[in-house]
Amino acid sequence: MSELLEGLNKEQLEAVTMGDGPLLVLAGAGSGKTRVLTHRIAYLIKERGVAPWNILAITFTNKAASEMKERLKNICGADSESMWVKTFHSACVAILRKNADLLGFKSGFNIYDDSDQKTLIKECMKGLNIDDEKFPVKSCLALISDAKNKMILPEDFLSEYGDDYLKSMYQKVYACYQEKLKSNNAMDFDDLIMLTVKLFKENPNVLDYYRDKFKYVLVDEYQDTNNTQYQLVSLLCSEHRNICVVGDDDQSIYKFRGADIRNILNFEKEFPDAKVIRLEQNYRSTQYILDSANSVISNNMGRKGKNLWTDLGYGEKIKLYTADNEYAEADFIAAKIVGLKKDYKLSDMVVLFRTNNQSRVLEERFRYMGIPHKLLSGLRFYDRKEIKDILAYLRVIVNPEDDISVMRSINEPKRGIGKTSMERAREIADKHGISLYDSIVNYYDEIGKSGEKMKEYAAIIEELRQEAETMPLGEFVEKVIKKSGYYTSLTLQDDFESKSRLENLGELVSGAKGFEESEAENASLRNYVDSISLVSDIDNYDEDTDTVTLMTIHMAKGLEFPVVFISGCEDGIFPSERAKYEEDGLEEERRLAYVAITRARRQLFMTNASSRRVFGKTERHLKSGFVTEIPASCIEDLTIKQNNNVMAKVSFTNTKPKPQEINFAAFAKQAAGGQVFNYKVGDRVKHKKFGEGTVIEAQSVGNDVRLKVNFDAVGEKNLMAVYANLEII
């Protein structure tokens, strides 16, 4: 027991060792909430004698769930394998797989992503003769999602949202959409939670089973729960009341996704006897950073209240810089990153922004300066065309009733199946009340000239369905890629894009093999397809890659970096203009500022531009009100200092600057940590990893030199001098 509780501070110890009953842990940023959760679970098992299978721990991302599982494995050993540590969605999938028939679904249902949803909505609109230009698909989906998060079914939609013409059209689409989901034996993300709540409410015996199974429920990031997630947790805990929720009302930033801050603010109203513990000691950041965050968030009215502190010392003040425009802002950030490289790895640094469109100028300047970087908001690996095509095959194999996946896969690669033939197959399916796949299998001879092609497709699917039962997962995914004809099609094209797609498919196979190794006996095709459906963008973040990360503030929640740049700190950008006119909009934006500030461990830079081109129009902005809420004693203004060097004096227009217009020479030595590069062709150099080699090309690029070096052991490598740290020998 002493080992389990060793190192916990007073408040953490109190939270870990509390007995039965409701517990609210208000965990400030960097206060060790994951440690409290994992140690409380271990305490329940080791000291209170609770069976591991009677514990349910829920969080929001696979990344957080994996981290919790790993920690519990280290503390509890084999006991950790029988407890449920899952995301909300994966927990609901597991429940629905066993009980889908009670809701009119089959256990092999597929999970639709955004792309699938849009395809299905368009299909509904076409069938209802609704113009998707007058009634945008995106708006329709947003409204349907909002309704599902509030447990509002199609039949109750108009009474909740109003019975005007616009809403009546959306209600018709919603009703059609739900019918088609069911006929396709598919659910979307919102269904996973909504239908689980519906299952529990309509089937008391099922609810009793899971109440008895999960005698202790722990919820991470409780401030991010929406209405259906709140109902799910409440139903499970309403009798035994052994619920522990951990969260930070000051980090509730997902209102646009349906998150309701009232769930955490009103926890004590639902559980009047709840124990409330505040974790205020921060183990991440220095005091200047925390004082800044505390000061900003203190201006919010709707909060529980806490004050972060640390024993790490005050550290460096927050660095503030005002640039002439967005290009000068990006150049300042780029120059600082180069200068900081002597003390930090590139992966130690992140540039945060309020909206995705701010990344363009930053990426331009980073590319020009030769700074390795990655944008964590681009196309997900699983959203690439070739990956989605093969995943469509896998989804048809596990669920042939999925019409959306059949339509995607049947003509990939091209088989000469035309639109008219697909429409005929659809008519036959509707006539007989069967799935699209069944119409192809049973009525291919009525479809027309493409019927034989469709029959060949169905034969491939049937063969693969048989082999899916016996083949190892990784080998099977590889078999699908080849048997479908996809591999041959890309190989014959023999161009750069096709080769890149083949490499991505190779990575898909590697991922399937990795899943097979990690999940062992649970590595079924069904579970693999589910795992991909439940992947989020942040789950793809790889902190071991030594590049600067660029991401929105929303995506950064849960992460931390030694050095943080918050760009675009201007009124109208951050906070956004729209937030000023929304109920509690500014409070949500201020929480977003709090999250951004508390991502920093050692150094924090906040930048803004006097003018910025937004949607083609040049606008002048005042410094963000959030910056003015930070005490002057916490800030060091670099604007005047920076204007004394050549880089900041460069006159930029509001058009994209040409590289030759910028003179970086005067600050190159300073930015590179005092290094001057004098490499020339023929120089013998030494690299820590690649060994000795000869410079065969040297080209000046801004304040750096691009080198091509022929290394004795590994051959030619292209390097940027500022990062290569080559030694001339």
pLDDT (tens digit, 9 = 90+) per residue, 528-549?
A: 888 888 876 555 556 667 899 9
Give the residue-averaged pLDDT of 448-467: 89
Q: Which residues contact 289 (CB under 8 A, 6 or more apart)?
A: 315, 318, 597, 598, 600, 601, 604
pLDDT (tens digit, 9 = 90+) per residue, 56-81?
A: 999 988 888 888 988 998 888 888 88
Closest to 312 in 3D by CA, of 290, 283, 335, 338? 283
Q: Is the pLDDT confidence value at 725 over 80?
A: no
Residue whose pair of structure tokens reads 């970096």 in the numeric block: 561
Which of 11, 33, 228, 598 is catalytic? The answer is: 33
Given a contact cutoff of 8 angstroms between Cβ atoms, the answer to whether 405 and 415 are in contact is no
- H or E, element range at 133: none
* Residue 250 known to be catalytic: no
* Residue 251 known to be catalytic: yes
Q: Quick one: DSSP state of residue 623?
A: B
Rounded CA separation 279/648 (Å): 42
Rounded CA separation 638/654 (Å): 22
Arithmetic mean of pLDDT over the chain: 87
* Residue 619 known to be catalytic: no
Sheet of 727-728: strand order equals 715-720, 704-711, 691-701, 684-687, 727-728
Closest to 673 in 3D by CA, of 347, 343, 316? 343
Percent of the chain's residues with pLDDT above 70: 91
* Residue 86 known to be catalytic: no
* Residue 220 known to be catalytic: yes
pLDDT (tens digit, 9 = 90+) per residue, 472-531?
A: 999 999 999 999 999 998 888 877 788 878 888 988 888 888 888 877 777 789 888 888
pTM above 0.75, yes or no: yes
Which of 221, 326, 412, 587 is catalytic? The answer is: 221
Which of 17, 34, 281, 493 is catalytic? The answer is: 34
Looking at 80-94, 418-432, 545-559, 654-668, which range is the least confident one? 654-668
* Residue 33 known to be catalytic: yes
Give the residue-averaged pLDDT of 130-156: 90
- H or E, element range at 409: helix 403-409
What is the model's pLDDT at position 243? 96
Query: Token pair for residue 332?
Result: 């300042």
Q: How confident is the model at residue 667 (pLDDT cuts 50, 70, 90)?
A: very low
What is the model's pLDDT at position 240? 93
Which of 11, 79, 220, 704 is catalytic? The answer is: 220
Rounded CA separation 675/342 (Å): 10
Which of 395, 599, 601, 612 is catalytic? The answer is: 599
Rounded CA separation 682/695 (Å): 5
What is the model's pLDDT at position 647? 39
Give the residue-averaged pLDDT of 609-626: 84
